[in-house]
């Protein structure tokens, strides 16, 4: 069964460093998302991406963050100059095929980022 | 915007039934989802309601009332593995951005 894959599963970084989280969405999906979940808190929307551009970003998604779809398969989240409060689980999700989106999102297993 | 409310915690014993309520206010309605999330893992799809009424899927059922902005997830014959967080979520109609409630942590005791 097709699935969303994310790498790395865990990353530890020093404050101020740049981090790139990678995602391979399900191949025929057209909508891509990044969500974040700080330990013990709710799943929070960061950004949605459709037709090779950001369709919406939350107030969390400031200039520190960027997303790219560098080729036909990868969808990356870059966090520049990481801060302690960026420590969280980052989930990639995808959904919607050509002409149809049920609203269901398929989530990757997540990338746990720890900023020291 | 989307505003989704659900209880924070519920505890039940193995074999029992638990009902998790969710109230929502959304700008435009495009259905209501329930996801299950075990600690440290990704949310996984449980159910989707777009019409009023009850959708049954094995031990799990989900109910929707659009006029009341209300849904519930019913878990029957609880098993220890059902201990998890249950997330009520509503997609926005234009780009299907999913907004989650804070989640209800269900603890199943022996």
pLDDT (tens digit, 9 = 90+) per residue, B71-87?
999 999 999 999 999 99
Q: Would you state the structure tokens that stand for residue B22, as one six-digit string?
A: 């969710």
pLDDT score for A94: 93
pLDDT score for B86: 97
Q: Is B70 exposed, middle or buried (0-12, 13-18, 19+ CB in 10 A)?
A: middle
- Whether residues A104 and B48 touch (CB distance < 8 A) is answered with yes
pLDDT score for A8: 96
Contact list, A105 vs chain B (CB under 8 Å): 45, 96, 98
- List residues of chain B with CB under 8 Å from any CB of chain A: 30-31, 33, 37, 40-45, 48, 87, 91, 95-103
Contact list, B100 vs chain A (CB under 8 Å): 42-45
CA distances from B35 to A1, A62, A70, A92, B62 (A): 19, 28, 30, 15, 11
Query: Residue A85, SS3?
Result: helix
- The whole-chain average pLDDT of chain A stands at 92
pLDDT score for B76: 97
Nearest Cα of chain B lies from the Cα of A49 at a distance, in angstroms, of: 9
Question: Residue B96's pLDDT band (boundaries 50, 70, 90)?
Answer: confident
pLDDT (tens digit, 9 = 90+) per residue, B19-77? Answer: 999 999 887 777 899 999 999 899 999 999 999 999 998 999 999 999 999 999 999 99
Contact list, A44 vs chain B (CB under 8 Å): 100
Mutate to test the interface with B, among A5, A105, A109 (most CBs of B within 10 A): A105
Q: Which residue has the tokens 């950001």?
A: A54
pLDDT score for B70: 95
- Whether residues B43 and A91 touch (CB distance < 8 A) is answered with yes
Long-range pairs, B63-70, Cβ under 8 A, ≥24: B64/B32, B66/B29, B68/B23, B69/B23, B69/B24, B69/B25, B69/B26, B70/B21, B70/B22, B70/B23, B70/B24
Strand partners, B60: B57, B75
Q: Which residue has the tokens 């269900």?
A: B106
pLDDT score for B64: 96
CA B100, B101, B106 angle in degrees (round to 5)?
Answer: 115
Nearest Cα of chain A lies from the Cα of B103 at a distance, in angstroms, of: 7
């Amino acid at each position: 069964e097709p699935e969303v894959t994310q790498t790395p599963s865990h990353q530890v970084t020093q404050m101020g460093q740049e981090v790139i989280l990678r995602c391979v969405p399900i191949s025929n999906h057209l909508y891509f998302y990044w969500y974040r979940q700080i330990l013990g808190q709710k799943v929070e929307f960061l950004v949605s991406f459709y037709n090779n551009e950001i369709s919406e970003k939350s107030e969390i998604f400031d200039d520190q963050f960027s997303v790219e779809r560098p080729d036909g398969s990868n969808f990356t989240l870059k966090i520049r100059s990481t801060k302690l409060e960026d420590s969280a689980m980052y989930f990639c999700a995808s959904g919607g095929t050509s002409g149809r989106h049920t609203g269901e999102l398929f989530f990757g297993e997540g990338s746990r980022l720890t900023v020291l | 915007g989307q505003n989704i409310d659900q209880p924070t915690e519920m505890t039940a014993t193995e074999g029992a039934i638990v009902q998790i309520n969710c109230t929502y206010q959304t700008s435009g309605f495009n259905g209501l989802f329930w996801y299950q999330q075990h600690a440290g893992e990704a949310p996984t799809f449980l159910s989707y309601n777009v019409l009023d009424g009850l959708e049954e899927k094995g031990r799990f059922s989900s109910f929707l009332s659009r006029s009341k902005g209300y849904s519930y997830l019913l878990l029957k014959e609880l098993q220890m593995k059902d201990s998890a967080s249950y997330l009520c979520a509503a997609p926005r109609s234009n780009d299907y951005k999913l907004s989650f409630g804070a989640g209800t942590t269900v603890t199943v005791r022996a």
